[in-house]
Amino acid sequence: MASANELLRDALILQAVLLQHLQRGHLNRLDALFTTQARQVIRGAFGVGDLAGQTFPAGTGAQVIAEIMGRYGALIGQAKLDMITAAQEAAAAEVAWWNAGAGLPDELVALLPWESVDTSILAGIGELETLGLTPAEWATKTAGDFMRQGNLQLQQAAGLGETMAAAAARIVSLNEKLGRVGAERMARTVFSGATGRVGNEWKRRNADMVSGWVWLATLDDRTCQVCGARDGTRWKTTAGPDIPAHARCRCVREPILKSWRQLGVDIDEIPPDWRSSMDGIKADPINYDGWLRGTSKANQISALGKARWDVWNSMGRPPMRRFVDGDRILSLEDLIGGG
Ligand SMILES: [Zn+2]
């Protein structure tokens, strides 16, 4: 039978999909907040129709900028509340999942010394810092980026003497560019922090079942080189770098469970080690390096960028740890020896 660890890995992959659905709900709400609502804000502030053909700074420029920035500011309160709710929902879903046996068959969980996570952990999740920011601070930061960029765009429109319609179009396109990206960055980071906190607590409580953890990166072209280099690395239960490693990080800590016999269950195990990747299920043990070498050239270039791909290829396709120094992705100059 598969090892306890393999069963848990399968279950973690399914859980990640379920969490993504939950996360998408928040992402869509935030996106709507910054994109759709912001568009209405602009329509209101620019007074589409009468003013559209007028030159933007004609008397009303500073006033319109102040108006737009004021309305954006009002959205921050909603975004903060939604991020706190997102962290709480993600953590609650994760607690419920671990406490129901993490998707493992009930009859197996009954044989194991499985300890539940105390729901009191949920009380502090709304204030939990991820990469140094609480959920509310992530919302403030994202909205702040928006407002800075928006202000800049409007100052430019004023400086160039554009029409009101052209200035409005700048803001709409900024929303389209930053809305989804900003929403995704904060939703994913806050989710990762909240679920990671619960997972760590489960590992702490189940230390006699867990021998350590393995860094699991997503095997696709969006994974960064720092996370790619760490994929598959193993750590003691309380050691190792934090996840998320950066904003929008999709990595997870996979607990390494002891063997069935070490866990006190008298069954044999065969290790059908596989990983799910953007190229479909892989039959052999694989990590990011193996995935990258085996995927199409187009995926490789999409993952690394063309210049970096050239260097990687000319170096004989070495493991990603050659391309990073801790949290830092080495520059091309670093890689080709200061040339
Ligand atoms: Zn990552």
Residues 158, 248, single domain; the answer is: no
pLDDT in tens, 11-35: 887 888 888 888 888 888 877 776 6
Q: What is the mean pLDDT of residues 231-256?
A: 87
The reply to whether 279 and 144 lie within a common domain is no
Question: Rounded to whole angstroms, what are the CA distances from 223 to 70, 91, 129, 220, 292?
Answer: 37, 24, 23, 6, 10
Q: Do residues 112 and 194 both lie within one domain?
A: yes
pLDDT of amino acid 133: 96
Task: Select from 206, 239, 263 the last residue of a domain.
Answer: 206
Between the CA of 320 and the centroid of ligand 1 the distance, in Å, is 13
Q: Lay out the sheet containing 234-235: strands in order across.
A: 234-235, 210-216, 252-257
Average pLDDT over the chain reads 82
Judge whether residue 218 has pLDDT over 90.
no
Q: What is the distance in A from the centroid of ligand 1 to the CA of 221? A: 12
Residue after which a domain boundary falls, among 173, 206, 239? 206
Could you tell me the distance, in angstroms and rounded to a whole number, from the CA of residue 331 to the centre of ligand 1?
19
Q: Find the 248 Cα to ligand 1 centroid distance in Å.
A: 8
Measured in angstroms, how far is the CA atom of residue 304 from the centroid of ligand 1? 15
Residues 176 and 226 in one domain: no
State yes or no: pLDDT of 222 exceeds 70: yes
How far apart are alpha carbons 223 and 250 in whole angstroms? 8
Instruction: For residue range 295-323, list pLDDT tens digits in order.
Output: 889 989 988 888 889 989 988 898 888 88
Cα 332 to averaged position of ligand 1 atoms, centre (Å): 21
Cα–Cα dist 304/221, whole Å: 8
Q: Are residues 214 and 201 in the same domain?
A: no
Q: What is the whole-number distance in angstroms between the Cα of residue 208 and the centre of ligand 1?
A: 27
- Do residues 60 and 150 share a domain? yes
Is the domain of 224 the same as that of 182? Answer: no
pTM exceeds 0.95, yes or no: no
134 and 272 housed in the same domain: no
The structure tokens 């702490």 sit at 204
Do residues 192 and 252 share a domain?
A: no
Cis peptide before 285 (omega within 30 of 0): no
CA of 249 to the centre of ligand 1 (A): 4
Of 20-29, 44-53, 150-159, 185-194, where does mean pLDDT reach its minimum?
44-53
User: What is the distance in A from the centroid of ligand 1 to the CA of 250?
Assistant: 5
Continuous segment of H or E residues that includes residue 282: strand 280-282
User: How far away, in angstroms, is 240 Cα from ligand 1 center?
Assistant: 13
Query: What's the number of domains the chain is made of?
Result: 2
Averaged pLDDT, 171-179: 78
CA–CA distance, 228 with 332 (Å, rounded to integer):
17
How far apart are the C-alpha atoms of 334 and 339, rounded to whole Å? 8
Find the 222 Cα to ligand 1 centroid distance in Å.
Answer: 10
Question: What is the Å distance from ligand 1's center to 59 Cα?
Answer: 49
Task: Pick the more confident residue, 146 or 93.
Answer: 93
In single-letter form, the type of residue at position 104 comes to L
Cα–ligand 1 centroid distance for 192 (angstroms): 10
Ligand 1 centre and the CA of 260: distance in Å?
A: 30
pLDDT of residue 193 exceeding 60: yes
**Who contacts 1 (Cβ-Cβ below 8 Å, separation ≥6)?**
260, 267, 268, 269, 270
Question: Which residues does 122 contact at the CB level (< 8 Å), separation at least 6?
Answer: 88, 91, 92, 95
- In this prediction, residues 34-59 reach a mean pLDDT of 62
169, pLDDT greater than 90: no
Please tell me whether residues 154 and 254 are part of one structural domain. Answer: no
**Per-residue pLDDT, 182:** 83
- Ligand 1 centroid – CA 283 distance (Å): 23
Distance 251 CA to ligand 1 centre (A): 4
Among 156, 181, 206, give the residue marking a domain's end: 206
pLDDT at 201: 93
Query: Which is it for the CA torsion 219, 222, 227, 228, positive or negative?
Result: positive
User: Ligand 1 center to residue 301 CA distance, Å?
Assistant: 19
pLDDT recorded at residue 158: 81
The CA distance from 179 to 173, in Å, is 9
Q: How far is the CA of 278 from the centre of ligand 1 (A)?
A: 16
Cα of 180 from ligand 1 centre, angstroms: 19
Cα of 227 to ligand 1 centre, how many Å? 5
Low-confidence winner among 73-77, 270-274, 288-292 (lowest mean pLDDT)? 270-274
Which two three-digit tokens encode residue 278?
Answer: 């953007």
CA of 241 to the centre of ligand 1 (A): 11
pLDDT at 339: 41
pLDDT digits over 113-147, tens only?
A: 899 999 999 999 999 999 999 999 999 888 888 78
Show the domain range for 322. Answer: 210-339
Please tell me the distance between residue 187's alpha carbon and the centre of ligand 1 in angstroms. Answer: 15
- Same structural domain, 14 and 103: yes
Do 222 and 199 belong together in one domain? no
pLDDT at 267: 75
